[in-house]
Amino acid sequence: MICSDPSSPAHPGPQPKTFIPQHLKASARSLIQVGIGHPFKLHNSRGKAMYTKGEGTWVQVHMWQGFLIGSAGVLILVASQIFWVKQFGSWATSLIPSSLWRRRVVVAALVAYVLLLSYNLLPSWIIFILNRISMMGGGGRSTGATDLTVRGALHQAHFWGWIRGAARSAEPTHLTLRAALLQAPFQWWIFCSLLGFLIAVLLGLGDRIALGARWLYRRVARAGRAVPLPSPVSLARRRFLERTAMAMSTAPFVAGAYGMFYERLNLEISHRRIKIPRLPRAFEGFRIVQLSDIHIGAFMPAEEIRRYVGIANGLKPDLAALTGDFVTWDPSTQSAVVDVLAGIKAPFGAYGCLGNHEMWAKVEDSITHLFALRGIRILRRERALITSGSEFINLLGVDYESNARMGPSNQRLVREYLLGVDRLMAPGTANILLSHNPNTFDRAAEYGIDLSLAGHTHGGQVTLEFISPELSPSRLITSYVRGWYEKPGGQLYVNRGIGTIGVPIRFDAPPEITVFELSRS
């Protein structure tokens, strides 16, 4: 566990953008998002969002682009697997001299690989195909109901139960043997082998370009006889380059294992003092602890969340702020996460807002009710006055909302963020907003909301921000990826969360609990 007091200068806010770069960036982002199954709003030739013309038009554009990019993704995946199978085959040849033992090892590895592939991928692919067929049957309209039915089938039907030994009836809230032995290694393998393959392709391309340039130079030099010929690449140097390239391609496997076994669990406690000039005197030194993006599941089991709740209580907060994504996909996990979070102790209470995963799992009303039964209030376009003596601060909360489509439906797609939230503000005191999506910050600052607390990005989850801030997948969806931001009218803190999504790996984005201390100066 790391404790830090980030006193670094403010992250820059979003820079002014010209039309052309913004347009190109948005188009690239749309294509990438469609490719990974989270389509964003698409742009026509004039740079206007297509969804303004109606959902039908939007979905038709999405379908052909999604098909092309999805097919390219499958091809890259297949190519990466062939690449690594061949690579391991050549390593087996050089490391195992006995042909009998080599054959045995190769066959055993292939059997294990095919079983893992069948267990983890086949049901999803079949359900994906069924989904496409049902969309075509429905006139090309993708509705939330269709997707949720399909996802429900994934979790509830005894689909492929015969190959798995048991059906995936629900997302577990504890680390099961099946998740540890069958899901985690496979997710690590697919993610890291894809990254390693892409690195190998880039290095191979660079090598070919360098060889081509060298060949061209030699031809020109030979024709003119005016410049000295470059010395040929020595065999030892070429071997060194090949070994370096292979080491770089295998680096994601090591980094992935580090991210899964160490960094994912290496909690960082961030302390930050927040200056709010109009903070009432009674709230000088008021402490708020923030937990975000819990994502209860096999890789964020209830026991682990209980540990984080204990750590949060040890920080002696006055108030606890929970900024959404309590569940991942499965509605049946909501009571388990509420049970654990009910252990948070703060004299001024625990408050929260909802994330996109509560929306996708369709648990917004039910989890709000469960939290209320345990004394935690979820603010859904509501405010709560936190009083101390005759003074108070105003705590506001909103559900997840986005001006760009993310996920299986157009739910919560808004043209303007926080529309009407200014009516919930209280003049003359500190206004603090809980909003899962950090993209609401620009509007919050326009309203003069002093502090926004957000999550959603997981700090990028797997990033190379230590090389460049642009090397983070979350940059595709927001300028506010992690940490503290300030602009005229307000401040924002984006918590990296404690759970994971997609792969149970964190790299350069450790889990985080933040404790804020409010101050007038």
Residues lying near Fe ion in the complex (CB under 5 A): 293, 325
Nearer to Fe ion, 358 or 486 (CB): 358
Nearer to Fe ion, 249 or 409 (CB): 409
Which amino acid does the sequence have at 173? Answer: T
Nearer to Fe ion, 325 or 508 (CB): 325
CA–CA distances in Å: residue 166 to residues 128, 154, 156: 21, 13, 11
CB 354 within 8 A of CB 364: yes
Beta bridge partners of 434: 397, 453
- State phi, psi for 222 to the nearest 5 degrees: -65, -40
Give min distance, CB of 511 to Fe ion, in A: 12
CB 39 within 8 A of CB 55: no
Give min distance, CB of 322 to Fe ion, in A: 12
144: its two tokens: 């939330």
Give min distance, CB of 324 to Fe ion, in A: 7
Give min distance, CB of 460 to Fe ion, in A: 12
66: its two tokens: 């999604």
CB 163 within 8 A of CB 423: no
Give min distance, CB of 483 to Fe ion, in A: 16
105: its two tokens: 């090892």
Nearer to Fe ion, 293 or 486 (CB): 293
Residue with tokens 């929970």: 322
Nearer to Fe ion, 325 or 364 (CB): 325
Which amino acid does the sequence have at 476? Answer: L
Beta bridge partners of 382: 397
Nearer to Fe ion, 350 or 406 (CB): 406
In 379-511, DSSP assigns E strands to 382-388, 391-398, 431-435, 451-454, 483-487, 490-494
Helix (H, G, I), strand (E, B) or coil at 481: coil
Nearer to Fe ion, 288 or 354 (CB): 354
Give min distance, CB of 300 to Fe ion, in A: 11
How many other C-beta atoms lie within 10 A of the C-beta of residue 327?
26
Give min distance, CB of 436 to Fe ion, in A: 8
Give min distance, CB of 325 to Fe ion, in A: 4
Nearer to Fe ion, 291 or 396 (CB): 291
Closest CA to 31 of 40, 22, 44: 40
Rg (CA), the chain: 26
CB 476 within 8 A of CB 32: yes
